């Protein structure tokens, strides 16, 4: 396993560790409650398997403009209305931070991602000028009318070169904060 792969897994674990255990307990409770109430129809959670971002590849913008990313193709097997919430946004390039009083030509600073708890993510259309392209990992939580949930992770990239896909180093940095620890 390469050093990079190890960091990638560590970032992934950090991104999910706090919430996922509670969420899975919640799914179990919902299922138990449905049975306890004698429901004849068992509710199925939303289906996140085909989830996709409205834009998967962004062109680098020298102004560091935020692009809106909507969440597509999450459905519910029962036809329930599904509520979408951006759960977290991570990226494989460090978030630039300018310390107070620092003299620099850096322009596009934290955050690089916004829209947590809303149905639309916003990420900066920028990448490191010396990197191999930036990849954002946007986690979405979908909830149906009976509080059953599914999670999807959407990737949105900003390649460094046209016709050359960005290389994904994994969800290493919280796009909202340079030091989430």
Shortest distance, position 44 Cβ to Ca ion, whole Å: 5
Binding segment (CB under 5 A) for Ca ion, from list 9-17, 19-27, 55-63, 138-146: 138-146
Residue 43 binds to Ca ion (criterion: CB under 5 A): yes
The residue from 112, 126, 144, 174 that contacts Ca ion (CB under 5 A) is 144
Residue 126 binds to Ca ion (criterion: CB under 5 A): no
Give the count of residues interacting with Ca ion (CB under 5 A).
10
Residue 132 binds to Ca ion (criterion: CB under 5 A): yes
Concatenate the DSSP letters of all residues of the chain into one string: --HHHHHHHHHHHHHHHHHHHHHHHHHHHHHHHHHHTT-SSPP---B-TT-EES-SB----TT--EEEEEEE--B-TT----EEEEEEEEESSPPP---TT--------S-SEE-TTSSEEEEES---TTSS-EEEEEEEEEE-TTS-EEEEEEEEEE-SBTTBPPP---S-EETT-S---
Residue 80 binds to Ca ion (criterion: CB under 5 A): yes
Residue 76 binds to Ca ion (criterion: CB under 5 A): yes
Q: Interface residues with Ca ion (CB under 5 A)? A: 43-44, 76, 78, 80, 92, 132, 144, 167, 169
């Amino acid at each position: 396993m390469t050093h990079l792969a190890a960091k990638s897994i560590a970032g992934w674990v950090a991104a999910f560790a706090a919430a996922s255990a509670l969420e899975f307990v919640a799914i179990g409770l919902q299922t138990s409650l449905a049975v306890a109430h004698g429901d004849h129809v068992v509710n199925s959670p939303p289906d996140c398997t085909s989830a996709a971002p409205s834009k998967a590849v962004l062109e680098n913008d020298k102004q560091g403009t935020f692009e809106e990313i909507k969440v597509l193709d999450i459905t519910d097997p029962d036809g329930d209305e599904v509520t979408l919430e951006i759960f977290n946004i991570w990226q494989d390039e460090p978030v630039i931070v300018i310390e107070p009083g620092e003299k620099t030509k850096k322009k596009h600073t934290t955050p690089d991602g916004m829209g947590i708890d809303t149905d639309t993510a916003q990420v900066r259309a920028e990448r490191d000028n010396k990197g191999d392209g930036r990849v954002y990992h946007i986690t979405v939580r979908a909830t149906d009318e009976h509080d059953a949930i599914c999670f999807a992770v959407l990737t949105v990239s900003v390649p460094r070169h046209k016709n050359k896909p960005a290389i994904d180093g994994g969800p290493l940095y919280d796009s909202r904060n340079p030091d989430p620890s």
